[in-house]
Amino acid sequence: MSSSGETPLSLLYRGTLESCNYDCGYCPFAKRKDSRARLEKDAAEVARFVVWAGEQKRPLRILFTPWGEALVRRHYRAAVQALAAMPHVQQVSVQTNLAAPLSWLEQVEPDKVALWCTWHPGQTSQVRFLERCAQLAKMGINFSVGVVAMREHFSAIKELRAALPQSQYLWLNAYDRRGPDYYTSEELAWLDAIDPWFIHNRRPAPSRGRACAAGEEAIAVDGAGEVTRCHFIPGRLGNLYQDSLESMLRERPCSRLKCDCYIGYAQRRDLPFGRDFGAGKLARIPLRIAAAET
């Protein structure tokens, strides 16, 4: 809720960008390179979105959810700076591998920017990743840290948990190509102790018919301005640049059998993310976290 009493609208923006500087084996966008024309198109789309946001009166929270790595591109860094400077934009968040330069963040109001940081073991060293986390902390930038819980990452996860401050939440994503017996019961107990909300990712509850803020208090937007209620339900609600928000925003129950991605299920009203994460929900930053067991 904003100071004016109006519920902020959360926008999950995913444009044309598909390129990434990492080559994770489980990701279809690994080491993909966008053409110059595609990058120019993406930059124009992002600029248009920033202009639209600046014209709004209602409070906004924005999360960039690119297929690739956005912050290595100057136009995304400029967009974050511009959006964070807008009084009605409460928060700008970006999903990132934290490989991009960080000095530009010294020019933003730290309370307005949050980074959703994923460590990819094998793509960069733990030492380098932790150094960059320390830079963010020194600048006062809020951030979350997480890892895909592949079995070959278990040692790295244990080391990362030990190296991070106990007050730092370490989120985990279940490996999405796992079979039914991928994790043992002992491994699940260990992973659940590290991330108290991991169970919602690894064993998603049925979603169909459940109340969800997506489509009412949160929407997904692509580079052309096409609006859906979330990234996982393709039904078109309208166009951000052509239609009124009032014509698109209303309560809708979820139509999926299950939702196993955080950016989707965090919007469900029957799950604890609104209560437990509060204003940090988009960037996956909980209000508080108990000391994790390792």
What domains sit in the chain, N to C, each tagged with a CATH number?
A: 9-280 (3.20.20)
DSSP string, 146-195: EEEE-GGGHHHHHHHHHHS-TTS-EEEEE-TT--TTSS-HHHHHHHHHH-
* 3-class DSSP state of 248: helix
Query: Max Cα separation, the chain?
Result: 53
Positions of E strands within the chain: 9-14, 60-64, 89-96, 113-118, 142-149, 170-174, 218-222, 226-230, 233-239
Strand-pair partners of 282:
none
The C-alpha atoms of residue 201 and residue 204 are separated, in whole angstroms, by: 6
First to last CA, the chain: 36
The C-alpha atoms of residue 120 and residue 257 are separated, in whole angstroms, by: 30
Residue 2 has pLDDT above 90, yes or no: no
Residue 222 has pLDDT above 70, yes or no: yes
Q: Provide the pLDDT for residue 293.
A: 38
What is the identity of the amino acid at 138? K
Q: Provide the pLDDT for residue 294.
A: 37
CA 222 remoteness from chain centre = 15
Q: Provide the pLDDT for residue 24.
A: 62
What is the Cα Rg of the chain in Å?
A: 19
Residue 101 has pLDDT above 80, yes or no: yes
Task: Give me the percent of the chain exceeding a pLDDT of 90.
Answer: 86
Q: What is the pLDDT of residues 235-259, one digit of tens each?
A: 999 999 999 999 999 999 999 999 9
Over residues 95-118, the mean pLDDT reads 96
**Burial class of residue 136 in the structure, from the number of CB atoms within 10 Å of its CB (0-12 exposed, 13-18 middle, 19+ buried):** buried
Q: What is the pLDDT of residues 179-194, one digit of tens each?
A: 788 999 999 999 999 9
Residue 262 has pLDDT above 70, yes or no: yes
Task: Give me the percent of the chain exceeding a pLDDT of 70.
Answer: 93
Q: Is 80 left (phi over 0), alpha (psi -120 to 50) or beta?
A: alpha
